[in-house]
Structure 1
Amino acid sequence: MTKLTDEPLFPATGTADPPVRAAVPLAAPAIRRPTRLPPLNLFRVFDAAARHGNFTTAAEELCVTQSAVSQQIRQLEELLEVRLFRRMPRRVELTREGTALASAVGESMALLVRACERIVDPKAPVVLCVNAPPSIASRWLVPRLKRFMQLQPQVKVTLLASSDPVDFDRQDIDVAIRWGNGVWPNARVEMLAPDRLFPVCSPALLREGPPLARPGDIVHHTLLQVVSGSYWGAWLAAAGVGGLAFEETLYFNDAGLMLDAAVQGQGVALASPLLAESDLKAGRLVRPFDLEIETGSAFYVLTSPDFSEKPAVAEFRSWIGFEGRESG
């Protein structure tokens, strides 16, 4: 038989550690689900009612009926599950919760007003996004952009180089430059410059290569052309030497690369005034013949019909149209 004693199971001593109790896991704190934001128009109605302390006066400001204001305030209260106003006989007063919400809503409305004022302020800096094919962007537009920014210092231009199809509804583009026949749906289209073509080559090729005294002499040189289509046949026909067979032809997917090859003396290319302008002025390219042909296509400036008269866009359209006429 076990003897029972009065001695404690864990006698207290100066050195013994107290008994270790098993840890009891704490219940995880309840995670509050984020409150779904009520429709923003309800906050606009609430802001007016809070400022005026009167549903009727708020209704006059918002151009709605007093019952519409009362109904929307009640809808906001039901969504938030709090009372925002105390209804008095001739006025309303904010509750504690209503006062806290009114402060936050007032600050938010003020931020929105200031943001809208900055956007529409004609003196505020404006970012204009211009999209152009790489060849015309680098060879014609970039050398001119500084002049535009000096004329319009409040307009900051972002230039994107691309030949992709333009869709103003889906792309963040203000102005686009494209080559074609002038037909682009859902765009305002203005001609920048007609596409006239003429042969160009490097001065070294003209001096050191086979003679280029007559159009027929081109057959002794490498022909440079873009893969999307060539107008060499039309130019040769206009020169009265159609049907020539060339020994070598180099193809490029970009007109700018083709002109780079011409500058390096790799052959003779057909170029337009806009693309060859800087190289001709600098003497990197020369025109062995004066004969030009028109392709029926042109470079065009495209803008959104909805925003083409926006001040910054309208200024750019006017400026680039002048530059195109000067170059053409």
Structure 2
Amino acid sequence: MLRPRKLPPLPALRAFEAAARHLSFRMAAEELAVTPTAISHQVRLLEETLGLTLFERHVRRVSLTRAGTHLYPVLRDGLDSFSRAITELYPQSQRRAVTVTATTLFTARRLIPALGAFQQAWPQYELRLHATDEAVDLLSGAADIAVRYGGGPFPDLVAEALCRERFGPVCSPSLALSQPEQLAAMMLIHSEWHRRDMQPGWERWRSMVNLPSLDTTSGLRFTDESHAIQAAIAGHGVAIASLVLVEDELARGVLVHPFGPVIEGHEYHLVATPENMASEDIQAVCGWLKVIGSR
């Protein structure tokens, strides 16, 4: 007779794997839809069952012990294998919807206006949009495919370049700007990015155009880039904005890009797990996103 496996409770293993992946009991709790206290209880149960300490508890964070570091990749790979095997049991058509996650501004300015084109081209697929400026964990299944800004890395995921970002001054045509020197008499519009290290702004643009007299510390400030764009459309000043995400406003003439230079940004990437990227519905969404990116 085969000897029965001696395994700890599965909820405790799942809680440990999620907490180890995020290095956070709070984020693990959000993923598994339980409370952080429940995650802590399950991890304690696992530690007591094994007779080992798996996490070092610090103020506001946790880290893996040597035993936790040994156990985590085994559990991660095992749960990934379970997920792949279960997914393969079901026909592709049983996926209820394809969830695309992207930044709030990219979703609002590129994805939502193009929804009609997707529904017309692929009526057999339902599309869901998840707008957030936080990177969603695709390995957890929270979304099927992501549009991410930046060069990665994207560990355990497949990434494909979509388009490259460009930034420059934009304003209402009513301001009649034609020369950078005119900016001294204009209100500068600023916005705060979630990722400060990636943010293009007036200080960076000034260094490129060599206008040391331009005061880049004053002006209108917004915590949301879409509000800064709306202020520019309304004629309240000049903003450094994504030329990719205001293409529609530039084409309609409600905004103009009066002069350079242009700040070259990072690329947007399509990112998904290898299994998802190979599926027909994700390939359809990729085709739609590539059309959006090429405009």
Tell me the TM-score normalized by structure 1: 0.56
Aligned residue number for residue 263 of structure 2: 293
Structure possessing the higher radius of gyration over alpha carbons: 1
Contact 1:188/1:302, CA 8 A, preserved across alignment:
yes
Shift of 1:121: 5.1
Gaps of 5+ in 1: 1-115
Shift of 1:268: 0.7
Gaps of 5+ in 2: 1-86, 194-198
CA distance in 1, matches of 2:142, 2:117: 24
Deviation readout 1:253-294 (Å, 9 max, x if unpaired): 332222111112221111223210121122221111143221
Deviation readout 1:272-320 (Å, 9 max, x if unpaired): 232101211222211111432213x222222123311111111211321
196, 206, 213: which one aligns with 2:178: 213
Check if 1:193 corresponds to 2:158. Answer: no
The number of aligned residues is: 205
AA of the residue aligned to 1:269: A
Aligned residue number for residue 18 of structure 1: none
Q: Secondary structure at the match of 2:97?
A: strand
CA distance in 2, matches of 1:181, 1:125: 30
Residue pairs, 1:91-110, within 5 angstroms: none
CA distance in 2, matches of 1:117, 1:145: 29
Higher relative contact order (CA 8 A, sep 6+): 2
116, 120, 128: which one aligns with 1:150: 120
Tell me the C-alpha RMSD between the 2 structures: 2.6
CA distance in 2, matches of 1:281, 1:119: 45
Contact 1:125/1:156, CA 8 A, preserved across alignment:
no
Shift of 1:194: 0.9
259, 267, 280: which one aligns with 1:311: 280
Contact 2:189/2:228, CA 8 A, preserved across alignment:
yes
Aligned residue number for residue 273 of structure 1: 243
Check if 1:226 corresponds to 2:197. Answer: no
Contact 1:139/1:256, CA 8 A, preserved across alignment:
no
CA distance in 2, matches of 1:307, 1:126: 14
Shift of 1:217: 1.6
CA distance in 1, matches of 2:147, 2:239: 22
Contact 2:200/2:263, CA 8 A, preserved across alignment:
no
CA distance in 2, matches of 1:136, 1:177: 9
Q: Secondary structure at the match of 2:126?
A: strand
More helix by share: 2
Say if 1:247 and 1:316 are closer, same or farther in 2 by CA, change over 3 A: closer
Contact 1:219/1:247, CA 8 A, preserved across alignment:
no
Say if 1:189 and 1:243 are closer, same or farther in 2 by CA, change over 3 A: farther
CA distance in 1, matches of 2:261, 2:247: 16
CA distance in 2, matches of 1:302, 1:253: 27
Shift of 1:243: 5.4
CA distance in 2, matches of 1:150, 1:119: 26
Percent identity reads 29
Contact 1:125/1:154, CA 8 A, preserved across alignment:
no
Check if 1:137 corresponds to 2:102. Answer: no
Residue pairs, 1:113-128, within 5 angstroms: 119-120=90-91, 122=93, 126-128=96-98
Superposed structure 1 runs of 4+ greater than 4 Å apart: 116-119
CA distance in 2, matches of 1:195, 1:117: 37
CA distance in 2, matches of 1:185, 1:306: 14
Say if 1:250 and 1:181 are closer, same or farther in 2 by CA, change over 3 A: farther
